[in-house]
C-alpha cells in the first residue's frame, strides 16, 4: 500500500516559479544536495507559463534527492505531475472532494495565523503539518499578519504534527525562534535570492543549531 512521506525537521524551501527558469533550476540543483525537508512551489506563475513542464523538471531534481515536492494551493496539478502534496494558504472548503479526486496518499499542509481555530481545524481534518506566517515582517509574505509567539506555543497543545515557521526569517533573527521548539523554518528569498544558496542553507543550519531529524528547534 502506498504511503505518504512524513516531513522531518529542518529547512522547508519555498521557490518562486516566476524566476528565470534556468536560474531557478540551476540553483535548485545545488540546493537539493543539502538537507531540505521539502520544496514548495509558490503559485506565482507567469501568464502563459508552461507550468506542467516546469513542475516536471523540478520534480525530477527533487525526486532524485528524495525531497518531497509540494504545490501551493493548485492541487489539481497532482493529477498530471508527480507531486507529493499540496500546501493550502487557506482552509479548503472542498477538502473531501479533493481527497477523493487525488486517488493516492499525498502530503497536506496549511498556513495558519493568530486564529487558533485554524490550528484546531488542521488537527481535526488530518493535515500533515502546519506553517505559521508571518513570523517577522517580510517582503514576500505581505498577505500574512505577524504571528504572536504565544499563539505558536498554544498551537503545540492542539496540533501534534510538524509545525514550521515562515516569513522574514534570516540568519540574524532565526535564533529568536529557538524557544518555540518547532520543527523548522520555511525560507524563500533567504536561500533563492542568495548568490550561493548552498552556503546560505549551511548558515541557517548553523544558527538553528546541530541538525537532528529527531528533535525540534
Judge whether residue 189 has pLDDT over 70: yes
What pLDDT is attached to residue 41?
A: 98
pLDDT score at 70: 98
How far does the chain reach from its first CA to its final CA, in angstroms?
32
| pLDDT > 70? residue 190 | yes
47, pLDDT greater than 90: yes
Binned at pLDDT 50, 70 and 90, residue 2 comes out as low
Mean pLDDT value of segment 8-17: 96
pLDDT at res. 1: 55
Q: Does the structure show a pLDDT above 90 at 195?
A: yes
Question: Which pTM does this prediction carry?
Answer: 0.93
Give residue-wise pLDDT tens across range 121-172: 999 999 999 999 999 997 765 667 899 999 999 999 999 999 999 999 998 8
Q: What is the pLDDT of residue 211?
A: 43
- Rounded to the nearest 10°, the torsion over CA 78, 81, 85, 89 is -70
Length of the chain: 217
Evaluate if residue 91 carries a pLDDT over 60: yes
Distances (CA, A) of 119 to 57, 109, 167, 177: 33, 11, 18, 19
Confidence of residue 120 (pLDDT cuts 50, 70, 90): very high
> Mean pLDDT over residues 47-74, rounded?
98
The pLDDT, as a whole number, for residue 208 is 83
Q: What is the pLDDT of residue 144?
A: 78
Write down the mean pLDDT value for the chain. Answer: 93
Which phi and psi angles does 189 have, rounded to 5°? -70, -30
216 pLDDT more than 60: no
All structural domains of the chain, each given as residue ranges with its CATH number in brackets, are 10-208 (3.20.20.70)
Reference 203, options 195, 213, 191, 214; nearest CA is 191
pLDDT of residue 4 exceeding 80, the answer is: no
Using a pLDDT cut of 70, give the percent of the chain over it.
93
Amino acid at each position: 500500500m502506498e504511503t505518504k512521506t512524513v516531513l522531518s525537521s529542518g529547512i522547508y524551501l519555498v521557490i518562486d516559479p516566476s524566476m528565470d527558469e534556468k536560474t531557478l533550476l540551476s540553483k535548485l540543483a545545488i540546493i537539493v544536495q543539502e538537507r531540505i525537508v521539502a520544496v514548495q512551489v509558490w503559485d506565482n506563475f507567469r501568464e502563459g507559463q508552461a507550468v506542467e513542464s516546469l513542475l516536471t523538471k523540478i520534480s525530477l531534481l527533487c525526486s532524485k534527492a528524495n525531497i518531497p515536492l509540494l504545490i501551493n494551493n493548485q492541487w489539481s496539478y497532482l493529477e498530471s505531475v508527480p507531486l507529493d502534496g499540496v500546501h493550502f494558504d487557506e482552509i479548503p472548503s472542498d477538502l473531501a472532494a479533493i481527497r477523493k479526486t487525488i486517488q493516492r496518499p499525498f502530503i497536506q499542509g496549511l498556513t495558519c495565523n493568530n486564529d487558533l481555530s485554524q490550528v484546531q481545524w488542521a488537527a481535526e481534518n488530518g493535515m500533515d503539518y502546519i506553517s505559521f506566517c508571518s513570523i517577522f515582517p517580510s517582503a514576500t509574505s505581505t498577505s500574512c499578519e505577524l504571528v504572536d509567539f504565544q499563539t505558536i506555543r498554544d498551537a503545540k497543545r492542539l496540533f501534534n504534527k510538524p509545525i514550521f515557521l515562515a516569513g522574514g526569517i534570516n540568519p540574524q533573527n532565526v535564533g529568536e525562534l529557538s524557544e518555540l521548539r518547532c520543527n523548522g523554518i520555511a525560507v524563500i528569498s533567504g536561500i533563492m535570492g542568495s548568490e550561493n544558496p548552498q552556503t546560505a542553507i549551511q548558515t541557517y543550519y548553523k544558527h538553528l543549531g546541530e541538525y537532528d531529524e529527531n528533535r525540534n528547534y
